[in-house]
Structures are given as structure tokens and as C-alpha cells.
Chains A and B, each alone.
Chain A
């Protein structure tokens, strides 16, 4: 069965500091991995994905994520946080063999960036 763990409910960082939002996964076979962001009263917005190839994936708004197969992790990172990055972040996984677009989500991590 596919599953995603986001071990931190909340991450707090100061503006300008680097940020990391953690994600580990469990999936049979090779995974498709995704990060989404949800702003208040909004739907989910796609940030980035890992399908194959380079382990370091770059996405929207300066975010990047590193796929680590041995640690089954896909942590989201940004070198310099902005107050506007404050939102709820979801990691998700899809099994290559599963229905296209069907995602399994982590419980979400609330990121707060203070000025």
C-alpha cells in the first residue's frame, strides 16, 4: 500500500532563512512524488514533481526537493524563505502502476515564515 508521512505538523522559520519541509514515503515499485501548496480558502497548487532522472527537482516559487531513494524521502527545500511562503504544504505519492492521477497525501505541514 502507498503511504506518505510528514513528520512535522508545523515548521516555523524566519524570513531569509532556509526552510525544509520533510516527507517520507512508502510505495510498491518506483514512486511518482509531488509537492502541493494550499493557501487559506484556496485549492491545491502544484509545486513540483519527481518522476525520474535528476534527484534534485526544481519547482515553482524557488522551491526544490531532493529525492533520496535509500532514505525513501522527498524533502521540500527553499534557500531563502519569504513571508508569502506561509501556507499548508502537502507531499503526495502515486504508484506508477496505479490509476493515473490518483494520489496518496501526507497529513500536511503548516509552514509559518515570520518577518
Chain B
């Protein structure tokens, strides 16, 4: 059974803290994605990666960075968390950019106080 695992389901952090959100997939997929989901705004793409050590900015990359040192792992980093980054963060993987089925993790709910 395919699986995308996000390390933390719920996190509470303080403004200015550095936050790491980890995502691991076991399907040997080339492509991995980070989205955030907010009420009324849907899923918005933060960053994606189509190969190890490769990354591309999505629609809302400001305030975020990513790391992909291994094929199965894609990390989202908030260098200095702010309250407007309180959101649900969803990691996904796929075999194709834009055309392949996205497999999502269960999400990480981040609250920044």
C-alpha cells in the first residue's frame, strides 16, 4: 500500500522559531510537493522537487525553504515562523509532474503563536 508519511500531525510553535516539517514516501516517486491548505483558499503550492537536490518554487514560496537530500524524503523549513504561517501543510508525491496521481500525506497542522 502506497504511503506518504508526515512526521508530525500537530505542532505548536512560537513566532520566530525555526520549524522543520518532514515527509517520507515509500513509493520510489521522483516528484514531491509541499502544499498548504487554508479555508477558502484551497491548496496552494509552496515548493516542489522533481529530483534529489532539485527544487522549484511554487506559488507561495516566501518564508519557506525545502531540502531533498534523499529521494524518499522532502523537508519543508520555516526559517522564522510567523503567525500567518499557521495552516495545514500537506506533502504529496507522484511519478509525473502535473499528470501523475498525487499521493498525499495526512497533513501537519501547524499553529504559530
> Do A and B make up one complex?
no
The interface of chain B, by Cβ under 8 A from chain A, is none
The interface of chain A, by Cβ under 8 A from chain B, is none
